[in-house]
Amino acid sequence: MSKIIDTFIAPPCHEQIEILYQDAYLVLINKPTGLLSLSGKNPQNLDSVHHRLVQLFPGCTLIHRLDFGTSGLMVIARNKAINAALCHQFSQRTVTKVYSALLCGHLAEDDGVIDAAIAKDPALFPLMSICAVNGKPARSRYQVVERFYRKSEDGTSLPVTRVQLIPRPGAPTSCASTASSWATRFWAVTCMAACCCPAPNGPQG
């Protein structure tokens, strides 16, 4: 097994975090692509969703994370009780996650299941890739939303497929590596995520 050395330095992210909803208990945001969910060990990787939000909401905590290159919805807890309630939902697999991805190429099938183990890629860290030897099991259902053509910079029409990916609850997920498992000619060029959490019960103090 190749040793993974974290030398990744995130390029500056100038996009702002969009706050979609907030109350005394939680915050719902739209994370931009190219922003870490949590600050890295390297001081140059300080900028992150958590680092930015604690300036606005002291004591807030992340319930889950999204990959560096993935944009989409994230739920942020504002107190310990809500953090515990939402973490319980994730651990009990009652949360539904849906990813939207644009793929280069037209998929032949309209839907199906991708069952492939994924792991951090030593050569492309922090990206992940399909790895049958050292990877963790990952299973996602996919549904084709549309197939279309997009003009490239040189005027060439490129085939593109928009899909929805629904990972198995509780399993590790990497939108890009999951989507690229169809074939080497397919690459996830854009990923967005959404999640649906039942309203937490119990104390909210």
> What amino acid positions are annotated as catalytic residues?
67
For the chain, what's the residue count? 205
Which pair of tokens denotes residue 134? 């050292």
CA angle 172–98–205, rounded 5-degree value = 85
Provide CB contacts within 8 A for 62, sequence distance 6+: 37, 38, 49, 50, 74, 76, 77
CA 162/CA 106 separation, integer angstroms: 9
Residue that the structure tokens 């030897």 belong to: 133
Dihedral pair phi/psi, residue 9, rounded to 5°: -120, 115
CA 54/CA 167 separation, integer angstroms: 29
What is the dihedral sign for C-alpha 188, 194, 197, 203?
positive
What is the dihedral sign for C-alpha 87, 95, 171, 15?
negative
CA 27/CA 13 separation, integer angstroms: 21
